[in-house]
């Protein structure tokens, strides 16, 4: 059996805002080259957890490591691609200008910058919209542009917070096909979602509810262990057992 290398390690991470506990004693390992899904309802703690991995937030207690390096770490910034739940775009600039700005932050210049902009915009099917102002984009187009920006610097680990919200089903399918290609090239992808059919596309899932990680396994393992036929049913079983 192939030995998998660990790229993410979360140890006893808890997070509180004043008296409100958002994450409670999270322990989790994620392996290189897998698509790992964090599945849970709104308010479960998914966004808070992925922010811990990017270094954008710090835990109240516990530690987290990326590639055996304790976070936060400035030297790992170029290894991480992050797509937040809210689009961080300059709406008074064109799509191309946004891409040029963000790629320059990662040190991409000249021909390489031009090539990567063309590649990521083709991936998200926005090649014909490079010169359009972002203020004229629909919500789904902004999500796709945000994804393109996260991919610009070819990160080793891609952290995506509900990346396909507002995107039509046909395009969502093509984006997931792109995820599989990235995975084949060795990219680790962490996706938060509350959509059950997307959860089934992940190699492994972490079920999160009320700030607690209630189960981890492949979609088939989770269904088998709960004697259920769907991820949704498995989540309800684990959620009921972990109130």
Structural domain includes residue 168: yes
Compute and round to an integer the Cα radius of gyration of the chain. 18
Residue 222 belongs to a domain with what CATH number?
3.40.50.300
Q: What is the pLDDT of residue 166?
A: 76
Structural domain includes residue 125: no
pTM given for the model: 0.91
Structural domain includes residue 117: no
Q: What angle do CA 149, 152, 153 make, to 5 degrees?
A: 130
DSSP 147: H
23 to 50, 56, 65: CA distances (angstroms): 11, 15, 17
Structural domain includes residue 151: no
Structural domain includes residue 143: no
Cβ burial 105-122 (10 Å sphere, 16+ → b, else e):
ebebeeeebeebbeebbe
Structural domain includes residue 111: no
Spell out the alpha helix ranges (H) of the chain.
46-54, 95-105, 110-123, 139-151, 169-184, 196-199, 219-226, 231-241
Phi and psi (nearest 5°) for 230? -135, 155
Structural domain includes residue 80: yes
Q: Can you tell me the distance from the alpha carbon of 172 to that of 61, in angstroms, rounded to the nearest whole number? A: 36
The length of the chain in residues reads 243
Structural domain includes residue 210: yes
> Containing domain of residue 60, as a range?
6-86+157-241
Per-residue pLDDT tens digits for 84-140 = 988 889 999 999 999 999 999 989 999 999 999 999 999 888 999 999 999 999 988
CA-nearest of 111, 143, 145, 139 to 127 is 145
Q: Can you tell me the distance from the alpha carbon of 114 to that of 199, in angstroms, rounded to the nearest whole number? A: 34
**Helix (H) / strand (E) containing 23:** strand 20-31
Total tally of structural domains belonging to the chain: 1
Q: List per-residue pLDDT tens for the chain, 243 residues long.
A: 355 688 999 999 999 998 899 999 999 999 999 999 999 998 899 999 999 998 889 999 999 999 999 998 888 888 999 999 888 899 999 999 999 999 999 899 999 999 999 999 998 889 999 999 999 999 889 989 999 999 999 999 999 998 888 788 888 888 888 899 899 989 999 999 988 888 999 999 999 999 999 999 999 999 999 999 999 999 999 877 555
């Amino acid at each position: 059996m192939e030995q998998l290398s660990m790229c993410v390690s979360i140890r006893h991470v808890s997070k509180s805002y004043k008296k409100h506990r958002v994450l409670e004693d999270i322990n989790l390992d994620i392996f290189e080259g897998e698509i790992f899904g964090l599945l849970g309802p709104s308010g479960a703690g998914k966004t808070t957890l992925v922010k811990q991995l990017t270094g954008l937030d710090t835990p109240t207690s516990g530690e987290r490591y990326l590639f055996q390096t304790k976070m936060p770490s400035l030297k790992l910034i170029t290894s991480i691609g992050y797509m937040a739940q809210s689009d961080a775009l300059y709406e008074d600039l064109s799509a191309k200008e946004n891409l040029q700005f963000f790629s320059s932050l990662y040190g991409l210049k000249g021909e390489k910058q031009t090539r990567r902009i063309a590649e990521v915009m083709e991936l998200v099917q926005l090649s014909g919209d490079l010169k359009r102002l972002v203020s004229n984009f629909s919500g789904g187009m902004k999500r796709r542009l945000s994804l393109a920006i996260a991919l610009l610097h070819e990160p080793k680990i891609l952290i995506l917070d509900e990346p396909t919200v507002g995107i039509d089903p046909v395009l969502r399918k093509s984006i997931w096909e792109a995820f599989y290609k990235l995975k084949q090239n060795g990219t680790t992808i962490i996706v938060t979602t509350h959509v059950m059919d997307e959860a089934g596309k992940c190699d492994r899932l972490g079920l999160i509810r009320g700030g607690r990680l209630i189960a981890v396994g492949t979609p088939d393992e989770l269904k088998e262990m709960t004697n259920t036929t769907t991820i949704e049913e498995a989540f309800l079983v684990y959620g009921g057992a972990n109130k």
